Amino acid sequence: METDKLVEEICQSPMQTLLSEESMSEISEDSSSNRELSAGYLSEREKAFVIFDNWTEVDQVDFLEQLLCRMCHYQHGQINEFLTPMLQRDFITLLPKKGLDHIAESILSYLDAKSLCSAEMVCKEWNRVISDAMLWKKLIERKVRTDTLWRGLADRRGWSCHLFKPRMGQAHPENSFYRILYPRIIADIQGIENNWLKGDPNLQLINCRSENSKGVYCLQYDDGKIVSGLRDNTIKIWDRHTLQCTKVLTGHTGSVLCLQYDEKVIISGSSDSTVRVWDVKTGEMVNTLIHHCEAVLHLRFNNGMMVTCSKDRSIAVWDMVSATDINLHRVLVGHRAAVNVVDFDEKYIVSASGDRTIKVWNTSSCEFVRTLNGHKRGIACLQYRDRLVVSGSSDNTIRLWDIECGACLKVLEGHEELVRCIRFDNKRIVSGAYDGKIKVWDLQAALDPRAPASSLCLRTLVKHTGRVFRLQFDEFQIVSSSHDDTILIWDFLNFEQAEAPAPRRPEDEMTNAQ
Protein backbone atom coordinates (compact mmCIF):
# COMPACT_ATOMS: atom_id res chain seq x y z
CA MET A 1 0.00 0.00 0.00
CA GLU A 2 1.08 3.59 -0.67
CA THR A 3 0.69 4.56 3.00
CA ASP A 4 2.90 1.69 4.18
CA LYS A 5 5.50 2.65 1.61
CA LEU A 6 5.59 6.24 2.85
CA VAL A 7 5.86 5.16 6.49
CA GLU A 8 8.72 2.81 5.56
CA GLU A 9 10.40 5.64 3.64
CA ILE A 10 10.23 7.89 6.74
CA CYS A 11 11.65 5.15 8.95
CA GLN A 12 14.51 4.38 6.59
CA SER A 13 15.29 7.93 5.40
CA PRO A 14 18.83 9.26 6.05
CA MET A 15 19.57 11.48 9.01
CA GLN A 16 19.38 14.59 6.87
CA THR A 17 15.54 14.37 7.03
CA LEU A 18 15.76 15.17 10.73
CA LEU A 19 19.15 16.89 11.22
CA SER A 20 20.46 19.67 9.03
CA GLU A 21 24.05 19.76 7.77
CA GLU A 22 24.77 22.42 10.39
CA SER A 23 23.48 20.13 13.13
CA MET A 24 25.61 17.27 11.79
CA SER A 25 28.66 19.47 11.81
CA GLU A 26 27.89 20.61 15.37
CA ILE A 27 27.64 16.99 16.52
CA SER A 28 30.96 16.17 14.81
CA GLU A 29 32.73 19.18 16.29
CA ASP A 30 31.23 18.49 19.72
CA SER A 31 32.40 14.90 19.72
CA SER A 32 36.00 15.74 18.85
CA SER A 33 36.41 18.99 20.82
CA ASN A 34 37.48 17.21 24.00
CA ARG A 35 39.91 14.84 22.27
CA GLU A 36 43.51 15.50 21.20
CA LEU A 37 44.03 14.19 17.67
CA SER A 38 47.52 13.14 16.44
CA ALA A 39 49.23 15.10 13.67
CA GLY A 40 49.65 11.93 11.57
CA TYR A 41 45.93 11.20 11.75
CA LEU A 42 45.00 14.75 10.79
CA SER A 43 47.25 14.68 7.74
CA GLU A 44 45.89 11.35 6.43
CA ARG A 45 42.18 11.71 7.45
CA GLU A 46 41.09 13.56 4.29
CA LYS A 47 42.72 10.93 2.05
CA ALA A 48 40.84 8.20 3.97
CA PHE A 49 37.56 10.12 3.49
CA VAL A 50 38.12 10.26 -0.29
CA ILE A 51 38.77 6.50 -0.42
CA PHE A 52 35.70 5.82 1.79
CA ASP A 53 33.44 8.02 -0.37
CA ASN A 54 34.39 6.09 -3.51
CA TRP A 55 33.16 2.77 -2.08
CA THR A 56 29.61 1.47 -2.43
CA GLU A 57 27.24 1.63 0.57
CA VAL A 58 27.72 -2.11 1.13
CA ASP A 59 31.51 -1.67 1.13
CA GLN A 60 31.26 1.24 3.57
CA VAL A 61 29.11 -0.75 6.00
CA ASP A 62 31.44 -3.74 5.85
CA PHE A 63 34.47 -1.50 6.44
CA LEU A 64 32.87 0.11 9.50
CA GLU A 65 31.92 -3.31 10.89
CA GLN A 66 35.53 -4.39 10.58
CA LEU A 67 36.70 -1.19 12.27
CA LEU A 68 34.26 -1.68 15.16
CA CYS A 69 35.55 -5.22 15.69
CA ARG A 70 39.03 -3.80 16.18
CA MET A 71 37.91 -1.27 18.81
CA CYS A 72 37.66 -1.77 22.57
CA HIS A 73 34.49 -1.61 24.70
CA TYR A 74 35.19 1.93 25.88
CA GLN A 75 35.40 3.09 22.26
CA HIS A 76 32.10 1.34 21.47
CA GLY A 77 30.48 3.41 24.23
CA GLN A 78 31.74 6.64 22.68
CA ILE A 79 30.48 5.59 19.24
CA ASN A 80 27.09 4.72 20.72
CA GLU A 81 26.82 8.13 22.40
CA PHE A 82 27.54 9.76 19.03
CA LEU A 83 25.04 7.61 17.09
CA THR A 84 22.06 7.84 19.49
CA PRO A 85 20.86 11.35 18.52
CA MET A 86 21.49 10.57 14.83
CA LEU A 87 19.22 7.52 14.92
CA GLN A 88 16.24 9.30 16.50
CA ARG A 89 13.21 9.96 14.31
CA ASP A 90 10.50 12.51 15.10
CA PHE A 91 7.65 10.51 13.56
CA ILE A 92 4.96 12.92 14.72
CA THR A 93 6.58 15.86 12.89
CA LEU A 94 7.53 13.85 9.80
CA LEU A 95 4.22 12.04 9.17
CA PRO A 96 2.10 15.14 8.40
CA LYS A 97 4.75 16.29 5.88
CA LYS A 98 4.10 13.05 4.03
CA GLY A 99 0.33 13.56 4.17
CA LEU A 100 -0.09 11.03 6.97
CA ASP A 101 -1.61 13.25 9.65
CA HIS A 102 -4.08 10.51 10.58
CA ILE A 103 -1.26 8.14 11.57
CA ALA A 104 0.35 10.78 13.81
CA GLU A 105 -3.06 11.41 15.40
CA SER A 106 -3.64 7.70 15.88
CA ILE A 107 -0.27 7.24 17.63
CA LEU A 108 -0.89 10.13 20.05
CA SER A 109 -4.48 9.02 20.74
CA TYR A 110 -3.12 6.12 22.84
CA LEU A 111 -1.59 8.52 25.38
CA ASP A 112 -3.07 9.00 28.83
CA ALA A 113 -3.71 12.50 30.20
CA LYS A 114 -0.32 13.05 31.80
CA SER A 115 1.53 11.88 28.67
CA LEU A 116 -0.71 14.02 26.45
CA CYS A 117 0.24 17.09 28.50
CA SER A 118 3.92 16.25 28.05
CA ALA A 119 3.47 15.64 24.31
CA GLU A 120 1.93 19.09 23.87
CA MET A 121 5.15 20.65 25.19
CA VAL A 122 7.55 18.73 22.90
CA CYS A 123 7.28 21.26 20.06
CA LYS A 124 4.78 23.39 18.15
CA GLU A 125 4.14 20.66 15.58
CA TRP A 126 3.18 18.09 18.22
CA ASN A 127 0.92 20.66 19.86
CA ARG A 128 -0.71 21.37 16.51
CA VAL A 129 -1.34 17.66 15.80
CA ILE A 130 -2.94 17.20 19.24
CA SER A 131 -5.10 20.29 18.82
CA ASP A 132 -6.21 19.59 15.23
CA ALA A 133 -7.04 15.96 16.10
CA MET A 134 -9.11 17.06 19.15
CA LEU A 135 -7.27 14.46 21.23
CA TRP A 136 -8.47 15.84 24.58
CA LYS A 137 -12.05 15.38 23.38
CA LYS A 138 -11.27 11.84 22.20
CA LEU A 139 -9.63 11.00 25.54
CA ILE A 140 -12.75 12.11 27.43
CA GLU A 141 -14.96 10.17 25.02
CA ARG A 142 -12.87 7.04 25.57
CA LYS A 143 -13.30 7.38 29.33
CA VAL A 144 -17.06 7.87 28.97
CA ARG A 145 -17.37 4.76 26.80
CA THR A 146 -15.42 2.51 29.18
CA ASP A 147 -16.09 3.87 32.69
CA THR A 148 -19.55 4.06 34.28
CA LEU A 149 -18.41 6.83 36.64
CA TRP A 150 -17.41 9.06 33.72
CA ARG A 151 -20.59 8.15 31.83
CA GLY A 152 -22.79 9.04 34.77
CA LEU A 153 -20.90 12.25 35.44
CA ALA A 154 -21.23 13.33 31.80
CA ASP A 155 -25.02 13.08 32.04
CA ARG A 156 -25.32 14.63 35.49
CA ARG A 157 -22.97 17.57 34.86
CA GLY A 158 -24.31 18.25 31.37
CA TRP A 159 -21.10 18.01 29.35
CA SER A 160 -22.21 14.89 27.47
CA CYS A 161 -23.72 17.21 24.82
CA HIS A 162 -20.17 18.25 23.84
CA LEU A 163 -19.07 14.67 23.10
CA PHE A 164 -19.28 12.32 20.11
CA LYS A 165 -21.28 13.56 17.10
CA PRO A 166 -22.70 17.09 17.43
CA ARG A 167 -26.40 17.67 17.03
CA MET A 168 -27.77 18.87 13.72
CA GLY A 169 -26.76 22.48 13.12
CA GLN A 170 -24.37 22.61 16.09
CA ALA A 171 -20.58 22.50 16.27
CA HIS A 172 -18.36 21.26 19.09
CA PRO A 173 -15.99 23.64 20.92
CA GLU A 174 -12.28 23.77 20.11
CA ASN A 175 -9.65 21.49 21.63
CA SER A 176 -8.79 24.05 24.34
CA PHE A 177 -12.29 23.62 25.83
CA TYR A 178 -11.69 19.90 26.41
CA ARG A 179 -8.17 20.51 27.72
CA ILE A 180 -9.69 22.69 30.45
CA LEU A 181 -12.67 20.35 30.95
CA TYR A 182 -10.53 17.27 31.65
CA PRO A 183 -8.94 18.49 34.91
CA ARG A 184 -12.33 19.81 36.01
CA ILE A 185 -13.72 16.29 35.61
CA ILE A 186 -10.79 14.85 37.58
CA ALA A 187 -11.42 17.36 40.37
CA ASP A 188 -15.11 16.41 40.35
CA ILE A 189 -14.28 12.70 40.61
CA GLN A 190 -11.88 13.36 43.47
CA GLY A 191 -14.61 15.36 45.19
CA ILE A 192 -17.03 12.42 44.89
CA GLU A 193 -14.41 10.03 46.30
CA ASN A 194 -13.79 12.39 49.22
CA ASN A 195 -17.54 12.61 49.86
CA TRP A 196 -17.73 8.82 50.07
CA LEU A 197 -14.92 8.79 52.61
CA LYS A 198 -15.70 11.74 54.84
CA GLY A 199 -18.11 14.15 53.18
CA ASP A 200 -21.62 15.08 54.15
CA PRO A 201 -23.90 13.70 51.42
CA ASN A 202 -27.07 15.49 50.43
CA LEU A 203 -29.91 13.55 52.02
CA GLN A 204 -33.35 13.30 50.42
CA LEU A 205 -36.21 11.56 52.22
CA ILE A 206 -39.34 9.91 50.89
CA ASN A 207 -41.95 9.29 53.56
CA CYS A 208 -44.09 6.43 52.27
CA ARG A 209 -46.96 7.27 54.66
CA SER A 210 -48.33 3.74 54.83
CA GLU A 211 -51.74 3.77 56.45
CA ASN A 212 -51.58 0.45 58.27
CA SER A 213 -48.43 -1.69 58.39
CA LYS A 214 -45.32 0.46 58.02
CA GLY A 215 -42.05 -0.58 56.36
CA VAL A 216 -40.36 -0.65 52.94
CA TYR A 217 -39.04 -4.15 52.32
CA CYS A 218 -37.48 -3.78 48.86
CA LEU A 219 -36.60 -1.28 46.15
CA GLN A 220 -34.89 -0.70 42.84
CA TYR A 221 -34.15 2.61 41.13
CA ASP A 222 -32.92 4.25 37.94
CA ASP A 223 -32.45 7.87 36.85
CA GLY A 224 -36.19 8.44 36.50
CA LYS A 225 -37.90 6.42 39.20
CA ILE A 226 -37.75 4.39 42.40
CA VAL A 227 -39.89 1.26 42.62
CA SER A 228 -40.55 0.10 46.19
CA GLY A 229 -42.31 -2.89 47.76
CA LEU A 230 -44.09 -2.17 51.02
CA ARG A 231 -45.30 -4.01 54.07
CA ASP A 232 -48.82 -2.65 53.36
CA ASN A 233 -49.10 -5.07 50.34
CA THR A 234 -48.52 -2.36 47.69
CA ILE A 235 -45.84 -1.45 45.17
CA LYS A 236 -45.27 2.29 44.99
CA ILE A 237 -43.44 4.06 42.17
CA TRP A 238 -41.77 7.41 42.93
CA ASP A 239 -40.55 10.13 40.59
CA ARG A 240 -36.78 10.62 41.16
CA HIS A 241 -36.92 14.38 40.64
CA THR A 242 -40.08 15.39 42.50
CA LEU A 243 -39.99 12.44 44.97
CA GLN A 244 -43.75 12.18 44.53
CA CYS A 245 -45.61 8.88 44.22
CA THR A 246 -46.73 8.43 40.61
CA LYS A 247 -48.32 4.95 40.79
CA VAL A 248 -49.57 2.49 43.39
CA LEU A 249 -49.83 -1.15 42.24
CA THR A 250 -52.28 -3.25 44.21
CA GLY A 251 -53.00 -6.96 43.95
CA HIS A 252 -50.83 -8.72 46.51
CA THR A 253 -52.64 -9.84 49.66
CA GLY A 254 -49.46 -9.87 51.73
CA SER A 255 -46.35 -7.75 52.20
CA VAL A 256 -44.26 -7.20 49.06
CA LEU A 257 -40.92 -8.73 50.09
CA CYS A 258 -38.93 -8.60 46.85
CA LEU A 259 -39.06 -7.14 43.37
CA GLN A 260 -37.06 -6.52 40.23
CA TYR A 261 -37.89 -4.62 37.05
CA ASP A 262 -36.51 -4.02 33.56
CA GLU A 263 -37.74 -1.92 30.64
CA LYS A 264 -40.87 -4.09 30.22
CA VAL A 265 -42.03 -5.62 33.50
CA ILE A 266 -41.94 -5.42 37.27
CA ILE A 267 -41.90 -8.83 38.96
CA SER A 268 -42.66 -9.03 42.67
CA GLY A 269 -42.79 -11.70 45.37
CA SER A 270 -44.92 -11.56 48.49
CA SER A 271 -45.75 -13.12 51.80
CA ASP A 272 -48.99 -14.20 50.07
CA SER A 273 -46.82 -16.93 48.40
CA THR A 274 -47.35 -15.56 44.88
CA VAL A 275 -45.13 -14.02 42.22
CA ARG A 276 -46.87 -11.30 40.23
CA VAL A 277 -45.88 -9.68 36.94
CA TRP A 278 -46.79 -6.06 36.15
CA ASP A 279 -46.48 -3.90 33.04
CA VAL A 280 -43.80 -1.36 33.96
CA LYS A 281 -45.43 1.45 31.95
CA THR A 282 -49.11 1.04 32.78
CA GLY A 283 -48.84 -0.66 36.18
CA GLU A 284 -51.33 -3.31 35.06
CA MET A 285 -50.96 -6.81 36.56
CA VAL A 286 -50.45 -9.19 33.63
CA ASN A 287 -49.58 -12.50 35.29
CA THR A 288 -49.69 -14.35 38.62
CA LEU A 289 -47.44 -17.35 39.33
CA ILE A 290 -48.59 -19.76 42.02
CA HIS A 291 -46.06 -22.39 43.04
CA HIS A 292 -44.51 -21.71 46.44
CA CYS A 293 -46.57 -22.73 49.46
CA GLU A 294 -45.11 -20.05 51.74
CA ALA A 295 -43.77 -16.48 51.42
CA VAL A 296 -41.64 -15.68 48.37
CA LEU A 297 -38.58 -14.10 49.98
CA HIS A 298 -36.45 -13.17 46.99
CA LEU A 299 -36.26 -13.36 43.18
CA ARG A 300 -33.92 -12.56 40.31
CA PHE A 301 -34.49 -12.63 36.53
CA ASN A 302 -32.30 -12.12 33.48
CA ASN A 303 -32.05 -13.30 29.86
CA GLY A 304 -35.22 -15.38 29.81
CA MET A 305 -34.64 -17.04 33.18
CA MET A 306 -36.01 -16.32 36.65
CA VAL A 307 -35.11 -17.82 40.03
CA THR A 308 -37.36 -17.47 43.09
CA CYS A 309 -36.87 -18.70 46.64
CA SER A 310 -39.22 -19.16 49.55
CA LYS A 311 -39.82 -19.72 53.20
CA ASP A 312 -40.92 -23.22 52.09
CA ARG A 313 -37.16 -24.06 51.77
CA SER A 314 -37.24 -24.48 47.99
CA ILE A 315 -35.83 -22.67 44.97
CA ALA A 316 -37.83 -22.47 41.74
CA VAL A 317 -36.21 -21.96 38.33
CA TRP A 318 -38.51 -20.50 35.65
CA ASP A 319 -38.34 -20.15 31.86
CA MET A 320 -39.50 -16.68 30.77
CA VAL A 321 -40.75 -16.48 27.19
CA SER A 322 -42.77 -13.31 27.77
CA ALA A 323 -44.57 -11.53 30.61
CA THR A 324 -47.58 -13.79 30.16
CA ASP A 325 -45.65 -16.96 29.29
CA ILE A 326 -43.54 -17.99 32.31
CA ASN A 327 -43.19 -21.70 33.05
CA LEU A 328 -41.67 -23.66 35.92
CA HIS A 329 -38.48 -25.37 34.75
CA ARG A 330 -37.00 -26.97 37.86
CA VAL A 331 -37.29 -27.01 41.65
CA LEU A 332 -34.07 -27.12 43.68
CA VAL A 333 -34.29 -28.68 47.13
CA GLY A 334 -31.47 -29.01 49.65
CA HIS A 335 -31.73 -26.26 52.26
CA ARG A 336 -33.06 -27.19 55.69
CA ALA A 337 -34.62 -23.78 56.44
CA ALA A 338 -36.15 -20.82 54.61
CA VAL A 339 -34.19 -19.77 51.53
CA ASN A 340 -33.79 -16.02 52.03
CA VAL A 341 -31.93 -14.91 48.91
CA VAL A 342 -30.81 -16.06 45.45
CA ASP A 343 -28.52 -14.69 42.76
CA PHE A 344 -27.28 -16.18 39.49
CA ASP A 345 -25.37 -15.76 36.25
CA GLU A 346 -24.83 -18.04 33.25
CA LYS A 347 -22.59 -20.34 35.32
CA TYR A 348 -24.00 -20.63 38.85
CA ILE A 349 -27.15 -20.17 40.89
CA VAL A 350 -26.27 -19.17 44.46
CA SER A 351 -28.71 -19.44 47.37
CA ALA A 352 -28.49 -18.60 51.08
CA SER A 353 -30.65 -19.86 53.90
CA GLY A 354 -31.56 -19.66 57.54
CA ASP A 355 -29.77 -23.03 57.85
CA ARG A 356 -26.44 -21.06 57.92
CA THR A 357 -25.28 -22.30 54.51
CA ILE A 358 -24.77 -20.95 51.01
CA LYS A 359 -25.39 -23.49 48.26
CA VAL A 360 -24.06 -23.32 44.70
CA TRP A 361 -25.93 -24.92 41.77
CA ASN A 362 -25.05 -25.29 38.10
CA THR A 363 -27.20 -22.86 36.10
CA SER A 364 -27.64 -24.95 32.95
CA SER A 365 -28.16 -28.37 34.57
CA CYS A 366 -29.53 -27.16 37.95
CA GLU A 367 -27.32 -29.76 39.63
CA PHE A 368 -25.88 -29.12 43.09
CA VAL A 369 -22.18 -28.07 43.06
CA ARG A 370 -21.01 -27.23 46.61
CA THR A 371 -21.89 -25.75 49.99
CA LEU A 372 -20.16 -22.74 51.57
CA ASN A 373 -20.00 -23.13 55.36
CA GLY A 374 -18.83 -20.56 57.88
CA HIS A 375 -21.60 -18.33 59.15
CA LYS A 376 -22.63 -19.07 62.75
CA ARG A 377 -26.29 -18.15 62.22
CA GLY A 378 -28.78 -17.82 59.38
CA ILE A 379 -27.84 -15.87 56.23
CA ALA A 380 -30.13 -12.99 55.25
CA CYS A 381 -28.52 -11.55 52.11
CA LEU A 382 -25.86 -12.05 49.44
CA GLN A 383 -24.61 -10.83 46.10
CA TYR A 384 -22.68 -12.91 43.58
CA ARG A 385 -20.52 -11.66 40.68
CA ASP A 386 -17.64 -13.33 38.84
CA ARG A 387 -15.86 -15.48 41.47
CA LEU A 388 -16.92 -13.39 44.46
CA VAL A 389 -19.84 -13.97 46.80
CA VAL A 390 -20.50 -11.50 49.62
CA SER A 391 -23.00 -12.53 52.30
CA GLY A 392 -24.55 -11.01 55.43
CA SER A 393 -25.89 -12.95 58.39
CA SER A 394 -27.75 -12.76 61.68
CA ASP A 395 -24.37 -13.55 63.30
CA ASN A 396 -23.77 -9.79 62.58
CA THR A 397 -20.89 -10.48 60.16
CA ILE A 398 -20.21 -10.15 56.45
CA ARG A 399 -18.22 -12.85 54.68
CA LEU A 400 -16.42 -12.81 51.33
CA TRP A 401 -16.16 -16.14 49.48
CA ASP A 402 -14.40 -17.57 46.44
CA ILE A 403 -17.21 -19.45 44.72
CA GLU A 404 -14.88 -21.74 42.76
CA CYS A 405 -13.09 -23.27 45.74
CA GLY A 406 -15.59 -22.46 48.49
CA ALA A 407 -13.00 -20.67 50.65
CA CYS A 408 -13.97 -17.82 52.96
CA LEU A 409 -11.65 -14.95 52.04
CA LYS A 410 -12.51 -12.47 54.79
CA VAL A 411 -14.89 -11.82 57.68
CA LEU A 412 -16.02 -8.21 58.19
CA GLU A 413 -17.20 -7.28 61.68
CA GLY A 414 -18.82 -4.04 62.79
CA HIS A 415 -22.60 -4.32 62.67
CA GLU A 416 -24.31 -4.84 66.00
CA GLU A 417 -27.34 -6.73 64.68
CA LEU A 418 -28.44 -8.89 61.74
CA VAL A 419 -26.96 -7.81 58.40
CA ARG A 420 -30.10 -7.55 56.26
CA CYS A 421 -28.88 -6.23 52.88
CA ILE A 422 -25.62 -6.05 51.01
CA ARG A 423 -24.35 -4.83 47.63
CA PHE A 424 -20.89 -4.43 46.12
CA ASP A 425 -19.22 -3.01 43.01
CA ASN A 426 -15.55 -2.84 41.98
CA LYS A 427 -14.61 -0.47 44.81
CA ARG A 428 -16.99 -0.81 47.72
CA ILE A 429 -19.25 -3.05 49.73
CA VAL A 430 -22.30 -1.32 51.22
CA SER A 431 -24.28 -3.11 53.93
CA GLY A 432 -27.41 -2.33 55.93
CA ALA A 433 -28.46 -3.95 59.18
CA TYR A 434 -31.12 -4.18 61.85
CA ASP A 435 -29.00 -1.81 63.97
CA GLY A 436 -30.28 0.97 61.66
CA LYS A 437 -26.78 1.58 60.25
CA ILE A 438 -25.39 1.55 56.74
CA LYS A 439 -21.68 0.75 56.48
CA VAL A 440 -19.36 1.40 53.55
CA TRP A 441 -16.40 -0.99 53.23
CA ASP A 442 -13.28 -0.94 51.06
CA LEU A 443 -13.62 -3.98 48.79
CA GLN A 444 -9.99 -4.05 47.64
CA ALA A 445 -8.75 -3.87 51.24
CA ALA A 446 -11.17 -6.64 52.19
CA LEU A 447 -9.67 -8.85 49.48
CA ASP A 448 -6.12 -8.12 50.70
CA PRO A 449 -5.15 -10.61 53.45
CA ARG A 450 -2.49 -8.15 54.72
CA ALA A 451 -4.90 -5.22 55.18
CA PRO A 452 -5.42 -4.26 58.84
CA ALA A 453 -8.96 -4.58 60.20
CA SER A 454 -9.05 -0.84 60.91
CA SER A 455 -8.81 -0.04 57.17
CA LEU A 456 -11.83 -2.09 56.09
CA CYS A 457 -14.82 0.03 57.17
CA LEU A 458 -14.60 3.43 55.48
CA ARG A 459 -17.58 5.03 57.21
CA THR A 460 -20.91 4.44 58.94
CA LEU A 461 -24.10 6.27 57.94
CA VAL A 462 -26.77 6.67 60.59
CA LYS A 463 -30.06 8.37 59.65
CA HIS A 464 -32.69 5.65 59.59
CA THR A 465 -34.66 5.28 62.81
CA GLY A 466 -35.54 1.65 62.14
CA ARG A 467 -34.08 -1.52 60.68
CA VAL A 468 -32.50 -1.14 57.23
CA PHE A 469 -34.27 -3.61 54.93
CA ARG A 470 -32.86 -2.95 51.46
CA LEU A 471 -30.34 -0.78 49.65
CA GLN A 472 -28.91 -0.24 46.20
CA PHE A 473 -26.05 2.06 45.19
CA ASP A 474 -23.94 3.34 42.32
CA GLU A 475 -20.93 5.68 42.02
CA PHE A 476 -22.96 8.71 43.08
CA GLN A 477 -25.51 7.61 45.65
CA ILE A 478 -27.03 5.06 48.00
CA VAL A 479 -30.79 4.51 48.05
CA SER A 480 -31.98 2.68 51.16
CA SER A 481 -35.30 1.65 52.72
CA SER A 482 -36.26 0.85 56.25
CA HIS A 483 -38.77 -0.39 58.78
CA ASP A 484 -39.24 3.33 59.62
CA ASP A 485 -41.39 3.61 56.43
CA THR A 486 -38.91 5.85 54.61
CA ILE A 487 -36.66 5.74 51.58
CA LEU A 488 -33.42 7.74 51.91
CA ILE A 489 -31.31 8.95 48.99
CA TRP A 490 -27.70 9.62 50.03
CA ASP A 491 -26.26 11.87 47.29
CA PHE A 492 -22.44 11.91 47.21
CA LEU A 493 -22.29 13.92 44.01
CA ASN A 494 -23.82 16.85 45.90
CA PHE A 495 -25.42 18.90 43.12
CA GLU A 496 -25.49 22.06 45.21
CA GLN A 497 -21.72 22.14 45.37
CA ALA A 498 -20.13 24.50 42.82
CA GLU A 499 -18.08 22.89 40.11
CA ALA A 500 -14.32 23.14 40.52
CA PRO A 501 -12.70 26.02 38.55
CA ALA A 502 -10.26 25.19 35.79
CA PRO A 503 -6.78 24.71 37.29
CA ARG A 504 -4.07 27.10 36.12
CA ARG A 505 -1.78 24.21 35.18
CA PRO A 506 -3.83 21.32 33.74
CA GLU A 507 -0.77 19.07 33.57
CA ASP A 508 -0.58 19.14 37.39
CA GLU A 509 -4.08 17.70 37.55
CA MET A 510 -3.11 14.76 35.34
CA THR A 511 -0.70 13.17 37.80
CA ASN A 512 -3.39 11.07 39.48
CA ALA A 513 -5.76 10.90 36.54
CA GLN A 514 -4.72 7.47 35.31
pLDDT tens by residue, 84-131: 887 877 878 888 888 888 898 898 999 999 999 999 999 999 999 999
User: Above 60 in pLDDT, residue 350?
Assistant: yes
**Average pLDDT estimate for 241-245:** 95
pLDDT of res. 101: 83
Q: What does the longest C-alpha to C-alpha distance in the chain come to?
A: 112
Instruction: Band the pLDDT of 230: cuts 50, 70, 90.
Output: very high
Helix 135-146 vs helix 113-120: crossing angle, to nearest 10: 180
Does the pTM exceed 0.85?
A: no
> How many C-beta neighbours within 10 Å does residue 292 have?
25
Q: For 493, which DSSP code?
A: S
**Average pLDDT estimate for 176-205:** 92
Which segment of 204-213, 301-310, 416-425 scores lowest on mean pLDDT? 204-213
pLDDT of res. 34: 64
Q: Mean pLDDT across the chain, nearest whole number?
A: 89
**Average pLDDT estimate for 430-440:** 97
**Average pLDDT estimate for 467-485:** 97
Nearest to 201 by CA among 512, 473, 481, 483: 473
pLDDT of res. 33: 56
**Average pLDDT estimate for 336-360:** 98
pLDDT of res. 166: 85
Pairing of β 256-261 and β 265-270: antiparallel
Instruction: Band the pLDDT of 15: cuts 50, 70, 90.
Output: very low
Please check whether residue 304 is in contact with residue 353, taking contact to mean a CB–CB distance below 8 angstroms.
Answer: no
pLDDT of res. 85: 80
User: Above 50 in pLDDT, residue 408?
Assistant: yes
pLDDT of res. 96: 84
pLDDT in tens, 53-82: 999 999 999 999 999 999 999 999 989 988
Which segment of 266-280, 292-306, 402-416, 497-511 scores lowest on mean pLDDT? 497-511
Query: 3-class SS at 198?
Result: helix
Buried b / exposed e over 150-172, threshold 16 CB at 10 Å, is: bebbbeeeebbebbeeeeeeeeb
User: Above 60 in pLDDT, residue 14?
Assistant: no
* Range from 31-40, 126-135, 366-375 that averages highest in pLDDT: 366-375
Q: Which residue has the higher pLDDT, 101 or 303?
A: 303
pLDDT of res. 2: 43
User: Above 80 in pLDDT, residue 510?
Assistant: no
Instruction: Band the pLDDT of 9: cuts 50, 70, 90.
Output: very low
pLDDT in tens, 444-453: 999 999 999 9
Please check whether residue 292 is in contact with residue 308, taking contact to mean a CB–CB distance below 8 angstroms.
Answer: yes
Domains along the chain with CATH numbers: 81-162 (1.20.1280.50), 199-491 (2.130.10.10)
User: What percent of the chain lies above the pLDDT cut of 70?
Assistant: 89
pLDDT of res. 32: 53
Q: Is the dihedral of CA 59, 65, 66, 68 positive or negative?
A: positive
Nearest to 290 by CA among 304, 265, 310: 310
User: Above 50 in pLDDT, residue 227?
Assistant: yes
* Cα–Cα–Cα angle for 440, 443, 445, rounded to 5 degrees: 110
pLDDT in tens, 328-346: 999 999 999 999 999 999 9
Q: Which residue has the higher pLDDT, 91 or 197?
A: 197
pLDDT of res. 196: 93
User: What percent of the chain lies above the pLDDT cut of 90?
Assistant: 76
Which segment of 22-31, 52-61, 259-268, 270-279 scores lowest on mean pLDDT? 22-31
